[in-house]
């Protein structure tokens, strides 16, 4: 099995749309009444969920006129949130076929079909023309991609000069035996963590200019504390447990242990493609 097939198999649920529909029933919602906001807790598969997305977007200055690319969009929660926030056009691409099928259905349910387009494909071979997008985001995806040089080269190719690129990934901050499984990998064979310095070097080699990098370790630990307090009251109908099913607890516990041990941390990196290219 190729690495990409393994990664996609890791994320495939098998019956995700039905699981989301049954959670909606518990929320007394239907596919006709559900809102983009209702789907946020399941649609944003990264530490800090929507708060983290907004934090990243606040640094990117995207506007209503901008067509934004979401690389590794999952089931499209971030793409739909950007489109609701800005009333703009957003395109997402993801390796996991089921995520794209589910993402398209959710996008139609909340009436964002004219704003958000989701495609099945690889970030390493983007099916888009050069200079097509006014900006891009990538949230919690690089941990599954070994060849980050090609990843950033592809992002650079499809962006217009002057476009901003916001990354929010989990990065390696010291060496140590990680606790597995974690949300993006069952074991070390599917995990391609890199250090912030490696990201910066590869972004520079792809000709991006980086203006801001922020470690989000304390934000992550606060987020997990709050999540654990809430979970004691019982999990909400929709959440990351809908995606990760019965492995959610061990994966989150291991993520917390890895962050507390100082092995990994989420990081934001804000870069742009220079104007004179």
Ligand X SMILES: C[S@@+](CC[C@H](N)C(=O)[O-])C[C@H]1O[C@@H](n2cnc3c(N)ncnc32)[C@H](O)[C@@H]1O
DSSP 4-69: HHHHHHHH--SSHHHHHHHHHHHTT--TTT--TTTTHHHH--STTHHHHHHHHHTTT---TT-EEE
CA end-to-end span of the chain:
39
73 in contact with ligand X (CB under 6 A): yes
Beta bridge partners of 136: 69, 165
72 in contact with ligand X (CB under 6 A): yes
**E-strand spans in the chain?**
67-71, 89-94, 116-120, 133-139, 159-172, 209-215, 264-272
Q: Provide the 3-class DSSP secondary structure of residue 91.
A: strand
91 in contact with ligand X (CB under 6 A): no
Instruction: From 95-103, 109-117, 210-218, 247-255, give the range in contact with ligand X by CB under 6 A.
Output: 95-103
Query: Which secondary structure element, helix H or strand E, spans residue 246, and what is its range?
Result: none
144 in contact with ligand X (CB under 6 A): yes
Closest residue to ligand X using C-beta atoms: 74
Q: By CB under 6 A, what part of segment 8-27 binds ligand X?
A: 8, 11
CA distance linking residue 60 with residue 142, whole number of Å: 19
* Minimum CB distance to ligand X, residue 71 (Å): 7
7 in contact with ligand X (CB under 6 A): yes
Out of 17, 31, 51, 124, the only residue in the binding site for ligand X (CB under 6 A) is: 124
Binding-residue pattern over the window 173 to 212 for ligand X, x denoting contact by CB under 6 A: ----------xx----------------------------
CA distance linking residue 123 with residue 4, whole number of Å: 10
* Minimum CB distance to ligand X, residue 275 (Å): 28
Q: What residues line the site for ligand X (CB under 6 A)?
A: 4, 7-8, 11, 44-46, 72-74, 77-78, 93-96, 99, 122-124, 139-141, 144-145, 183-184
């Amino acid at each position: 099995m190729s690495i990409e097939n393994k990664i996609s198999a890791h994320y495939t649920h098998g019956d995700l749309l039905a699981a989301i529909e049954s959670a909606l029933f518990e929320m007394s919602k239907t596919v006709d009444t559900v809102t983009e906001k209702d789907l946020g807790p399941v649609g944003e598969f990264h530490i800090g969920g929507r708060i983290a997305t907004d934090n990243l977007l606040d640094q990117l200055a995207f506007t209503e006129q901008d067509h934004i690319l979401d690389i590794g969009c999952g089931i499209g929660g971030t793409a739909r949130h950007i489109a609701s926030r800005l009333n703009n056009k957003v395109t997402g691409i993801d390796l996991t076929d089921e995520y794209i099928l589910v993402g398209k259905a959710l996008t139609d349910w909340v009436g964002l079909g004219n704003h958000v387009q989701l495609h099945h494909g690889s970030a390493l071979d983007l099916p888009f023309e050069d200079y097509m997008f006014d900006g891009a985001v990538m949230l919690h995806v690089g941990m599954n991609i070994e060849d980050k040089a090609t990843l950033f080269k592809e992002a650079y190719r499809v962006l217009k000069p002057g476009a901003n690129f916001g990354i929010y990934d989990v990065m390696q901050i010291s060496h140590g035996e990680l606790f597995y499984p974690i949300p993006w990998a069952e074991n070390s064979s599917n995990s391609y963590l890199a250090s912030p310095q490696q990201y910066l070097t590869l972004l520079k080699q792809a000709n991006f200019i980086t203006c801001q990098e922020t470690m989000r370790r304390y934000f992550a630990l606060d987020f997990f504390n709050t999540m654990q307090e809430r979970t004691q009251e019982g999990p909400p109908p929709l959440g990351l447990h809908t995606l990760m099913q019965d492995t959610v607890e061990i994966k989150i516990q291991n993520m917390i242990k890895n962050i507390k041990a100082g092995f990994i941390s989420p990081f934001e990196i804000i870069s742009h493609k220079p104007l004179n290219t």
